[in-house]
Amino acid sequence: MSVPSHPLSIKKIVAVSDSLTNEEPDNYLALLGARLQVSVVANAFGGWTTTSFFRERFKDIAFAKIPHDADVFLLLVGSNNQFEAAGGTEASIADAVAGVQTLAAHLLTFSPTAQFLLVAPPTVILEKNVLPTPLPERRIDRQSPAILAQLSQAYRALAQARQWLFVDLYPVLGADDFMDACHPNPAGNRKIVGVIAPVLEQAFACPR
């Protein structure tokens, strides 16, 4: 994997993500850190929505490891908002957008000068839907891809309004890049790095 031809002006990226991020050695964060030669750490990943950070059961753990020296917060959240709304609705999109803004405001209380990279989640692969759906209101169905595409557009508009960096993963990953309906496999993680890294390299390249 290629590395920057010169150092970046950032030292630490903190990814606040859901279960699209994991602790596997070939996850996209490990690959991203190796490519950019910066510290990349994950925070509080799990199967929660953008508003779960503010539920009582997360209040003591979600922000336990947020550093005070983050240069960039990478936000890859929101797909669970759609899955917990029975396949997704316009209201669930609005909830995800509002949750991202609330989350960002809270993160800035830890690292006030940090910048944001908002990443729209990838689509889902219905034929690989092996996830258990014990609750009828939480499911991945035929409506989910279209709703996630709308979420991507809503996130793009939010990033433009807030002057955040933005990456849209929705069109990036195909069926061969997933290990189930929505979680990337090693090939998918490499593709994620392939679109996120150039955005950061361009935004934070040190002058030669």
Domains assigned to the chain: 12-204 (3.40.50.1110)
pLDDT top residue among 107 and 150: 150
Between the ranges 5-14, 59-68, 151-160, where is the mean pLDDT highest?
151-160
Question: How many residues in total does the chain contain?
Answer: 208
Looking up tokens 């991202």 gives: 100
pLDDT for 206 equals 76
* CA-based max dimension of the chain: 56
Residue 60, pLDDT above cutoff 70: no
Gap between the Cα atoms of 95 and 13, Å rounded: 25
- Residue 155 backbone phi and psi in degrees, to 5: -70, -40
pLDDT top residue among 206 and 101: 101
Beta-ladder partners of 17: 76
Gap between the Cα atoms of 6 and 12, Å rounded: 16
Q: Are 72 and 117 in contact (CB under 8 A)?
A: yes
pLDDT top residue among 192 and 61: 192
Residue 1, pLDDT above cutoff 50: no
Q: Are 96 and 77 in contact (CB under 8 A)?
A: yes
Average pLDDT over residues 35-64: 67
Average pLDDT over residues 88-115: 90
Residue 97, pLDDT above cutoff 70: yes
pLDDT top residue among 108 and 88: 108
Residue 208, pLDDT above cutoff 70: no
Q: How far is CA 73 from CA 41, 42, 45, 69, 128, in A?
A: 10, 10, 14, 11, 30
pLDDT for 170 equals 96
Residue 69, pLDDT above cutoff 60: yes
Gap between the Cα atoms of 86 and 198, Å rounded: 35
Q: How far is CA 128 from CA 30, 43, 124, in A?
A: 25, 27, 8
